Structure 1
Amino acid sequence: MADKPSYYEFFAGGGMARAGLGEGWRCLFANDFDRKKAESYRANWGGEALHVGDVREISTAQLPGRADLVWASFPCQDLSLAGAGAGLKGERSGTFWPFWDLMKALRKEGRPPPLIVLENVCGALTSHGGKDFTEICKALAEEDYKFGALVIDAALFVPQSRPRLFIVAAREEVAIPTSLVARNEGLFHTRALLMAYEKLPRRLRDDWLWWSLPAPPSRNATLAQIIEEAPRDVAWHSGAETKALIAMMSDVNLAKIEEAKRAGRKMVGTLYRRTRYQNGAKIQRAEARFDDVAGCLRTPVGGSSRQYVLVVDKGRVRSRLMSARETARLMGLPEDYILPATYNGAYHLAGDGVAVPVVRHIAGHVLEPLLAAMALRDAA
């Protein structure tokens, strides 16, 4: 047990980062302020390492030992392109700063984590014209971390479009194998990331690392495999309800339905209701996709943010809300993961989480090789 690398998991939710890190790691401390999510964490992982409460009220005395890794999927609401734009000054995303105060305090105590991963929406790259991203990089540099970022879409692993930003930081004393860094040409170095990097002051670019990750194997899981015929918690719509959804479609989306009918086979897609502007007025639109990828799961705030399932087969169109277990599958959670008892609770848990196989990919190709290199150096 003691030879396993250890970690603290902040903003832990239902423990999806823990699921991705896997049994080869041991959790020393986990925290989330949401009591309902904490119930799911406890149901799946036990409560020994879990502290439920505001990160602002945590002291370093509550953080045992010295963790090899700190994972922090801090709130995205104020950094999201769909949010109000408060950025790191916002009430939710601004909780990064009390979290970071803890990291600074750990350094003063002589037990800074060698590795830190920060996860958030891609809007963090452009929030306030890139100033919020610069502030995060500055915070890392001032605590003697080298750092780089990756934009990884969960669609490479599961049939859900979910691009997310992962900032991976290593303390200056960590020996970084040359195989783990590359030029800025990787699959996970998007145009938005390159532009954010170019906006950084030179002193921060000097601390930048272009992490090199291999592309994962081609995804095997299809959307059709994830969708259930008879889910327990949601019912298929009546014909009238499905027609009402179709009536909300633009010509472009109606054409997608017709194309699915002509496919000659069962077609499974998804749909979101969105507010759009037409002739200066707000209208509700139903927007569908049949590309074997679900839309990005969101936390359910009103019916418009819940995702629908569409099935087109033999000319017939059926629709319903996506089930709770389906959302869990889209996040890469195992079938035996215990979900909240309520539909909204389960949907919220999934929509606010980090995709499990993405965490595993980062751990397997960056974090674990870094720790192995550290162990070799210490043994020499």
Structure 2
Amino acid sequence: MGIGEAGGTVSTRSGAVWPFLDIIRRLGEEGRAPTLLALENVLGLLSANGGADFRALCSALSEIGYRFGAVVADASFFVPQSRPRVFIIAIRREVPLPAAFTTDIPQRPWHGQILLRAKASLSPEDATNWVWWSPGAPPSKKQFELREIIDVSGEAEWNTDEATDRLIGMMSPMQLGRLNEAKAAKQTAIGSLYLRMRPTGYGKNVQRAEVTFSDTLGCLRTPKGGASRPRIVVVDGERVRTRLLSVREAALLMGLDKEFELPSTYHECFRLIGDGVVPAVVRFLAERLFEPLAIHARSFAVAGGELKESA
């Protein structure tokens, strides 16, 4: 997740940002820098290395002539999956800020505590270039509900009863309590199930099965072994069934069309999905910020160090 160091030799998954910003810098020296930039990363960017990665990125944007701000957009407003992502939006300093797309104070849900802490850690110089972007109110309703895409029929590839019993046997008393509450609800309950290593209190770790029953599943991630594969649990009274989340269900949780062509293997599908951004989130931000800001910026042209309306 880390973005590495500018000019450094350590490669990270997000390290491409530095060569990218170097290209933007050189374009600026030629008078051809893009007016608007948008960068996306996982929420951990705001706190990685004690916030140093985020500060370095903001400093770099400031140095090459941009004002910037960030919003944290969670896909759970659009699809039944919790998937918070950071979008950093930068605009050339010469371009006047349109009041319709900014706010003087942080605005929920786009500017949560983790972003407030990250912003507060910026240097005074970089903080002067900070912008509180305002996408407006999030959607009031998801595009679809979890129960609409999870196959609870007997035709799905369910685990055997023995395999399900093994998973239940790996639950702590608290997790068993959640399972029993779902049984007592007298209605079909759909939940997520993950295998995680937890400390025992005696200097050792033990693998636990952990369940959550909610209208929103947890964030789909890139696979790092069998234990990290997302599982679902379906409870109908005393009947408990478990299985892996199918690749098609995972694609639907990302908001992809049923006709979207997926890689041929389970592992590659989840590599694609785990690294992906929910299209509905990008479309929302495009309509609320990216496209209006681009139109606003195009209405101005820099001439002789002054802004004037372009033809």
Q: TM-score, normalised by structure 1?
A: 0.74
Cα distance in structure 2, aligned partners of 1:121 and 1:164: 5
Partner Cα separation in structure 2 for residue 315 and residue 96 of structure 1: 51
Alpha-carbon distance, 1:125 to partner:
1.0
Q: Which range moves more in the overlay, 357-366 or 369-378?
A: 369-378
SS in 2 for 1:94: coil
- 1:122 paired residue number: 43
Aligned equivalents of 2:231, 2:53: Cα separation in 1: 34
Q: Which residue of the other structure, out of 27, 46, 50, is the alignment partner of 1:106?
A: 27
The amino acid across from 1:308 in the alignment is R
Structure 2 CA distance for aligned equivalents of residues 154 and 341 of structure 1: 26
Report if aligned partners of 1:153, 1:164 keep a CA contact under 8 Å in 2.
Answer: yes
8 Å CA contact retained: 1:231, 1:323: no
Q: Gapped runs of 5+ residues in structure 1?
A: 1-75, 80-85
Q: Which residue of 2 aligns with 1:67?
A: none
Q: Which residue among 248, 255, 277 is the counterpart of 1:325?
A: 248
TM-superposition CA deviations, 1:147-167 (whole Å, max 9, x none): 001111111111111111111
**Contact 1:175 / 1:373 at 8 angstroms: preserved in 2?**
no
Given residue 238 of structure 2, which amino acid in structure 1 is its aligned partner? G
In the aligned structure 1, how far is the partner of 2:245 from the partner of 2:34? Answer: 39
Distance between the aligned counterparts of 1:231 and 1:371, measured in 2? 50
Query: In the alignment, which residue of structure 2 is the partner of 1:238?
Result: 160
Kept in 2: contact 1:329–1:335 (CA 8 A): yes
Question: Which residue, out of 229, 234, 249, partners 2:171?
Answer: 249
CA offset digits 1:74-117 (Å, max 9, x no partner): xx2x36xxxxxx78764223332222222222223332111111
Larger Rg: 2
* Alpha-carbon distance between aligned partners in 2 of 1:264 and 1:106, rounded to the nearest angstrom: 63
Partner of 1:210: 132
1:126-141 equivalences under 5 Å are 126-141=47-62
Secondary structure in structure 2 of the residue aligned to 1:168 = strand
2:86 is matched with which residue? 165
State whether residues 148 and 210 of structure 1, in contact with CA within 8 Å, keep that contact through their aligned partners in structure 2: yes
What are the within-5 Å matches in structure 2 for residues 180-191 of structure 1? 180-187=101-108, 188-191=110-113
Q: Is 1:198 matched up with 2:120?
A: yes
How far residue 267 of structure 1 moved from its aligned partner, in angstroms, is: 0.7
Aligned residues of 1:176 and 1:373 also touching (Cα < 8 A): no
Comparing 221-230 with 196-205, which one deviates more in the overlay?
221-230
Q: Distance in 2 between matches of 1:247 and 1:180?
A: 52
| Secondary structure in 1 matching 2:277 | coil
Matched, 1:149 2:70: yes
Give a deviation string over 1:2-48, Cα, whole Å, max 9, x none.
Answer: xxxxxxxxxxxxxxxxxxxxxxxxxxxxxxxxxxxxxxxxxxxxxxx
Deviation at 1:369, TM superposition (A): 1.0
The answer to whether the Cα contact below 8 Å between 2:69 and 2:130 also exists between their aligned partners in 1 is: yes
- The 5 A counterparts of 1:14-33 are none
Structure 2 regions of 5+ residues with no counterpart? 301-308
Tell me by how many angstroms 1:174 deviates: 2.7
Q: CA deviation at 1:230?
A: 6.0
CA contact (8 A) 1:272 1:286 kept: yes
Are the equivalent residues in 2 in contact too, given 1:116–1:168 (CA < 8 A)? Answer: yes
C-alpha separation in 1, matches of 2:36 and 2:163: 50
Structure 2: which amino acid aligns with 1:226? I
| Of 186, 205, 208, the match for 1:264 | 186
Identity %: 44
The 1-side partners of 2:181 and 2:165 are apart by 17
Report the number of matched residues.
Answer: 297
Question: Is 1:343 equivalent to 2:238 in the alignment?
Answer: no
Change (3 A) 1:309 1:133: same
Q: Deviations over 1:260-292 (max 9, x none)?
A: 111121111111111111122111111111111
Judging changes above 3 Å, is the alpha-carbon distance between structure 1 residues 322 and 179 closer, same or farther for their aligned structure 2 residues? same
Contact 1:114 1:171 (8 Å CA) reproduced: yes
Give the stretch that moved more between structures: 104-113 or 165-174: 104-113
After TM superposition, the structure 1 = structure 2 runs for residues 15-94 of structure 1, keeping only pairs within 5 Å, are 76=1, 78=2, 90-92=10-12, 93-94=14-15
Match of residue 293 from structure 2:
370
Q: Aligned pair in 2 of structure 1 residues 346, 87: CA closer, same or farther (>3 Å)?
A: farther
- Kindly provide the amino acid, as one letter, of the partner of residue 293 in structure 2: L
Q: CA RMSD in A?
A: 2.0
